[in-house]
Amino acid sequence: MKITVGKGSCGIAAGAGEISAQFEENIKANNINCDIVTTGCIGMCYIEPIANVIDDNGKCTTYVNVGTNAVNEIVKSIQGLENHASKYEILQEDLDVLATQPRIALANCGIINPEHIDEYVARDGYKAAEKCIKSLTPEEVIEEMKISGIGGRGGAGFPTWFKWNAARASEGDKKYMICNADEGDPGAFMDRAIIEGDPHAVIEGMLIGAYAIGSDEGIVYVRAEYPLAIIRLEKALEQARENGMLGKNIFGSDYSFDIRIKAGAGAFVCGEETALIASLEGERGMPRLKPPFPAQKGFWQKPSNINNVETYANVPWIIRNGGEAFSNMGTENSKGTKVFALTGKINKGGLVEIPMGESIHNVVFGVGGGIKNDVPFKAVQMGGPSGGCIPAEIADTMIDYKTLAETGAIMGSGGMVVMDETTCMVDIARFFLDFTRKESCGKCTHCRVGNLRLLEILERICAGDGRDGDIELLSELAEQVKEGSLCQLGQTAPNPVQTTIRYFRHEYEDHIYNKKCTAHQCKALITYSVDAEKCIGCTLCKRACPNDAIAGDVKKPHTIDIEKCIKCHKCVDVCKFNAVIVD
């Protein structure tokens, strides 16, 4: 018998470390023969910590939201004693949602112990790499990738086989296989979860790609803010070397390949491949002009291939099952599955893996369980800070590269931030512009200055100082920034502005002409008052106000001094009678 505890970063943040220790203590105290095993995140972050009890016959019972009381009851159930563990069991609807996901990149996440290579090998791990090295030519490997139709999962969707083929065709005495794990999008955590939960899949994918292009050295560029991912990746690399899957004469062949880790300083721009290369070389992370492309002249001017974590994690499955099996999923121009990080105003936030071609609506309401507190769905931000806001009115939009691009959004690495009617779309554009402005490397004027000017206008509008013509000025500046910027950061930074103007122009007009924020988020454009007919004079709001802005006697209607009110919203939070009006 064994108990598995999901100890990805999300699980640990929810208390999985303490829960695991309590299981250890309880099992030992009761002299129960049971192993406590670590796994990664299975994707259901909204019900962490998660523990699975697997008996000697392989029967698995999943418990969620596990706390101290749950641990005690679960251990009682193992002993056959009277218990109340059943109330902690996962709901069937959550199991059903998980069962509908065709998990490829996430196949082992939350299932195996990421720190034990034997568990990965037991699930056909490294068989694809061995098949390639022993039975296939590099050209045959690339052809299989071509058949699969997989595009890079870092955002652009560029055909993976084409990049591999270009790197193989480039002349050079040294070639590099690089993994881009510099995941910097707000609300995105796909790459982190994969490395934490299944690092060997990434290693095996890199090994296959390296064999295909003729590389003997690989580098994983991972942001230093992912310490757990780095620790587990280091252990996985060490175990792979010990078992002959990395290093000299892999699988007893003449082929040799090894991987090292480079911890990046966390610059968002280093997600762009040429900026990443500059950082690897010890330079400031700034993009370079293309061509030449990295496949021709990359790291140290040598042919280099760069794919992201999710792309590599798909490769072993494709080789084991055949490229055609992968291409049978998805749409005509977007093959296979895609991992998304569902965050924001959604009931079931976490990681999901869906076939390309699924609709946004089905992801939000089918997989994600709908909007928190049943507040009306307003929009979803696709593609991170450089993506676009897609409104609820076109939520039937199909998720593939081409269709999303037509809406003004992008696929990106897979962040999906869900918003409800309490979200101000002007403020959202301001938030993402503030992020990309700060993360700009400053190399080109359009990105360095243009995004700052866009941000200044948005901040002015949110502060109640919007002017006639600001919307047109934003649109004009956005186009200039897109056209004049050197890299994708600058070229896509205006997307949140353009899509919010395109779909939510009325909110900009309300801010500028009516001096109102209908979502009640921009403090300069809202006021607080008390409905005298609803107020019973309980004094809760008066006591909660940090600035003595509320006056009134007990059992008599209160009033709010607008001059003193700092719009902290505490009066609304404590009022039990909905007497505080926000306008």
Tens-level pLDDT at each residue, the chain (583 residues): 999 999 999 999 999 999 999 999 999 999 999 999 999 999 999 999 999 999 999 999 999 999 999 999 999 999 999 999 999 999 999 999 999 999 999 999 999 999 999 999 999 999 999 999 999 999 999 999 999 999 999 877 899 999 999 999 999 999 999 999 998 888 889 999 999 999 999 999 999 999 999 999 999 999 999 999 999 999 999 999 999 999 999 999 999 999 999 999 888 999 999 999 999 999 999 999 999 999 999 999 999 999 999 999 999 999 999 999 999 999 998 999 999 999 999 999 999 999 999 999 999 999 999 999 999 999 999 988 888 999 999 999 999 999 999 999 988 888 899 999 999 999 999 999 999 999 999 999 999 999 999 999 999 999 999 999 999 999 999 999 999 999 988 999 999 999 999 999 999 999 999 999 999 999 999 999 999 999 999 999 999 999 999 999 999 999 999 999 999 999 999 999 999 999 8
Enter the tokens of residue 183. 């995941």
Tell me how far apart the alpha carbons of residues 375 and 28 are, in angstroms, rounded to a whole number: 47
Q: Are 120 and 112 in contact (CB under 8 A)?
A: yes
Instruction: Go through the chain and tell me how many residues it has.
Output: 583
Backbone angles phi, psi at 193, to 5 degrees: -65, -35
Residue 315 token pair: 């490769």
Provide CB contacts within 8 A for 22, sequence distance 6+.
68, 71
For residues 419 and 412, give the distance between their C-alpha atoms in angstroms, rounded to a whole number. 18
Q: 316 with 204: CB under 8 angstroms?
A: yes
In which order are the strands placed within the sheet that holds 304-308?
Answer: 258-264, 217-223, 176-181, 304-308
Paired residues of 545 in beta bridges: none
Cα 189 to Cα 208: distance, rounded to the nearest angstrom: 24
CA atoms within 13 A on the CB side of 320: 16
DSSP β-ladder status, 176-181 and 217-223: parallel
Return all residues near 462 (Cβ < 8 A) that are at least 6 apart.
424, 426, 427, 430, 511, 517, 522, 524, 525
Answer yes or no: are the C-beta atoms of 135 and 143 closer than 8 Å: no
Amino acid identity at 239:
Q
CA within 13 Å, CB half, 309: 29
Q: Do residues 388 and 360 lie in contact, with contact meaning Cβ atoms separated by under 8 Å?
A: no
**Comparing C-alpha atoms, which of 278, 289, 319 is closest to residue 161?**
319
382-395: b (≥16 Cβ within 10 Å) or e: bbbbbbbbbbbeeb
CB 204 within 8 A of CB 126: yes
239, two tokens? 């175990």
3-state secondary structure of 222: strand
